[in-house]
Amino acid sequence: MSDTQWMFDDLPVGSIERFVEGCWSLSMLRFHIETNKITPTIRKRIDDHNNMRNISVLEFDLNTLVHTYRTDVSLNDALEEKDELVWLWFNNSQVLVDSNFAGWLRSRLTVRDINNLRCVFITEGDAVNSIFFDYSAPLYLATNNLLKYFEL
Protein backbone atom coordinates (compact mmCIF):
# COMPACT_ATOMS: atom_id res chain seq x y z
CA MET A 1 0.00 0.00 0.00
CA SER A 2 2.96 2.35 0.45
CA ASP A 3 3.46 2.49 -3.33
CA THR A 4 0.00 3.91 -3.83
CA GLN A 5 -0.44 7.65 -3.78
CA TRP A 6 -3.71 8.47 -2.03
CA MET A 7 -4.92 11.88 -3.11
CA PHE A 8 -7.29 13.17 -0.46
CA ASP A 9 -6.97 16.78 -1.53
CA ASP A 10 -8.22 15.98 -5.03
CA LEU A 11 -11.52 14.60 -3.73
CA PRO A 12 -14.41 16.67 -2.35
CA VAL A 13 -14.83 16.66 1.42
CA GLY A 14 -17.79 14.45 2.32
CA SER A 15 -17.69 12.48 -0.93
CA ILE A 16 -18.01 8.73 -1.10
CA GLU A 17 -14.73 8.58 -3.00
CA ARG A 18 -12.89 10.47 -0.26
CA PHE A 19 -14.42 8.09 2.28
CA VAL A 20 -13.04 5.09 0.36
CA GLU A 21 -9.59 6.70 0.21
CA GLY A 22 -9.79 7.38 3.94
CA CYS A 23 -10.69 3.77 4.68
CA TRP A 24 -7.52 2.56 3.01
CA SER A 25 -5.10 5.19 4.23
CA LEU A 26 -6.43 5.50 7.80
CA SER A 27 -7.00 1.77 8.40
CA MET A 28 -10.75 2.09 8.83
CA LEU A 29 -11.57 -1.61 8.57
CA ARG A 30 -15.20 -2.61 9.19
CA PHE A 31 -18.59 -1.00 8.66
CA HIS A 32 -22.26 -1.91 8.94
CA ILE A 33 -25.41 -0.64 7.24
CA GLU A 34 -29.02 -1.72 6.99
CA THR A 35 -30.22 -3.04 3.65
CA ASN A 36 -32.89 -0.36 3.30
CA LYS A 37 -30.32 2.42 3.79
CA ILE A 38 -27.74 1.48 1.20
CA THR A 39 -28.64 2.46 -2.32
CA PRO A 40 -27.33 0.95 -5.54
CA THR A 41 -25.69 4.32 -6.22
CA ILE A 42 -23.68 4.22 -2.98
CA ARG A 43 -22.50 0.68 -3.67
CA LYS A 44 -21.64 1.47 -7.28
CA ARG A 45 -19.61 4.55 -6.35
CA ILE A 46 -17.70 2.62 -3.68
CA ASP A 47 -17.11 -0.29 -6.05
CA ASP A 48 -16.14 1.98 -8.95
CA HIS A 49 -13.63 3.91 -6.85
CA ASN A 50 -12.06 0.72 -5.53
CA ASN A 51 -11.91 -0.73 -9.03
CA MET A 52 -10.32 2.46 -10.34
CA ARG A 53 -7.56 1.89 -7.77
CA ASN A 54 -7.22 -1.77 -8.83
CA ILE A 55 -8.69 -2.91 -5.53
CA SER A 56 -10.71 -6.12 -5.76
CA VAL A 57 -14.35 -5.96 -4.73
CA LEU A 58 -15.96 -9.21 -3.56
CA GLU A 59 -19.47 -9.95 -2.37
CA PHE A 60 -20.66 -12.77 -0.11
CA ASP A 61 -24.18 -13.78 0.85
CA LEU A 62 -23.69 -14.90 4.44
CA ASN A 63 -27.09 -16.58 4.41
CA THR A 64 -25.71 -19.18 2.00
CA LEU A 65 -22.62 -19.72 4.17
CA VAL A 66 -24.27 -20.34 7.56
CA HIS A 67 -23.40 -24.05 7.53
CA THR A 68 -20.26 -24.00 5.36
CA TYR A 69 -18.37 -20.87 6.44
CA ARG A 70 -15.47 -22.79 8.00
CA THR A 71 -14.82 -24.77 4.81
CA ASP A 72 -15.92 -22.38 2.07
CA VAL A 73 -12.83 -21.91 -0.07
CA SER A 74 -13.79 -18.55 -1.60
CA LEU A 75 -14.68 -16.97 1.76
CA ASN A 76 -11.58 -18.28 3.52
CA ASP A 77 -9.37 -17.21 0.63
CA ALA A 78 -10.87 -13.71 0.70
CA LEU A 79 -10.16 -13.42 4.43
CA GLU A 80 -6.47 -14.25 4.08
CA GLU A 81 -3.87 -11.61 4.77
CA LYS A 82 -2.02 -10.93 1.54
CA ASP A 83 -0.65 -8.10 -0.58
CA GLU A 84 -3.79 -7.71 -2.70
CA LEU A 85 -6.27 -5.12 -1.36
CA VAL A 86 -9.86 -6.37 -1.13
CA TRP A 87 -13.16 -4.63 -0.34
CA LEU A 88 -15.73 -7.14 0.97
CA TRP A 89 -19.51 -6.79 0.98
CA PHE A 90 -21.23 -9.19 3.39
CA ASN A 91 -24.91 -9.38 2.43
CA ASN A 92 -27.52 -10.89 4.78
CA SER A 93 -25.32 -10.25 7.78
CA GLN A 94 -28.32 -10.72 10.07
CA VAL A 95 -27.31 -14.41 10.16
CA LEU A 96 -24.45 -13.29 12.39
CA VAL A 97 -26.87 -13.43 15.32
CA ASP A 98 -25.53 -17.00 15.31
CA SER A 99 -22.69 -16.41 17.75
CA ASN A 100 -20.65 -19.32 16.38
CA PHE A 101 -20.58 -17.83 12.88
CA ALA A 102 -20.04 -14.30 14.23
CA GLY A 103 -17.29 -15.45 16.58
CA TRP A 104 -15.50 -17.30 13.79
CA LEU A 105 -15.72 -14.28 11.50
CA ARG A 106 -14.56 -11.94 14.27
CA SER A 107 -11.53 -14.14 14.87
CA ARG A 108 -10.69 -13.96 11.17
CA LEU A 109 -11.12 -10.17 10.96
CA THR A 110 -10.06 -8.70 14.30
CA VAL A 111 -7.46 -10.77 16.13
CA ARG A 112 -4.62 -9.85 13.83
CA ASP A 113 -3.74 -6.77 11.86
CA ILE A 114 -5.20 -7.32 8.40
CA ASN A 115 -4.37 -4.26 6.38
CA ASN A 116 -5.51 -5.61 3.02
CA LEU A 117 -9.23 -5.97 3.87
CA ARG A 118 -12.09 -3.53 4.29
CA CYS A 119 -15.58 -4.89 4.79
CA VAL A 120 -19.18 -3.80 5.01
CA PHE A 121 -21.84 -5.87 6.77
CA ILE A 122 -25.29 -5.33 5.27
CA THR A 123 -28.14 -6.39 7.57
CA GLU A 124 -31.91 -6.57 7.56
CA GLY A 125 -33.94 -4.64 10.12
CA ASP A 126 -33.02 -4.58 13.80
CA ALA A 127 -30.20 -7.11 13.49
CA VAL A 128 -27.62 -4.29 13.60
CA ASN A 129 -28.28 -3.74 17.30
CA SER A 130 -28.09 -7.40 18.32
CA ILE A 131 -24.98 -8.10 16.22
CA PHE A 132 -22.88 -4.97 16.72
CA PHE A 133 -24.19 -3.24 19.86
CA ASP A 134 -25.05 -6.09 22.25
CA TYR A 135 -22.30 -6.35 24.85
CA SER A 136 -22.39 -10.16 24.73
CA ALA A 137 -22.20 -10.39 20.92
CA PRO A 138 -18.89 -11.46 19.32
CA LEU A 139 -18.86 -8.43 16.99
CA TYR A 140 -19.72 -5.92 19.73
CA LEU A 141 -18.43 -2.48 18.63
CA ALA A 142 -16.35 -4.07 15.85
CA THR A 143 -17.86 -1.85 13.13
CA ASN A 144 -18.88 1.72 12.38
CA ASN A 145 -21.97 2.98 10.61
CA LEU A 146 -21.08 3.35 6.93
CA LEU A 147 -23.33 6.39 6.43
CA LYS A 148 -21.68 8.60 9.05
CA TYR A 149 -18.60 9.19 6.88
CA PHE A 150 -19.97 10.82 3.74
CA GLU A 151 -22.78 13.03 2.54
CA LEU A 152 -25.50 11.68 0.29
The vertex-107 CA angle with 84 and 125, nearest 5°, equals 95
Answer for the pair 33, 39: CB distance below 8 angstroms, yes or no.
no
Cα gap 7→5, rounded to integer Å: 6
Q: Mean pLDDT across the chain, nearest whole number?
A: 91
Cα gap 99→139, rounded to integer Å: 9
All domains in the chain, ordered by first residue: 8-149 (3.40.50.300)
The pLDDT tens digits for 130-144 are: 999 999 999 999 999
How high is the pLDDT of residue 143?
A: 95
The pLDDT tens digits for 70-118 are: 999 999 999 998 999 999 999 999 999 999 999 999 999 987 778 899 9
Pairing relation of β-strands 117-123 and 30-34?
parallel
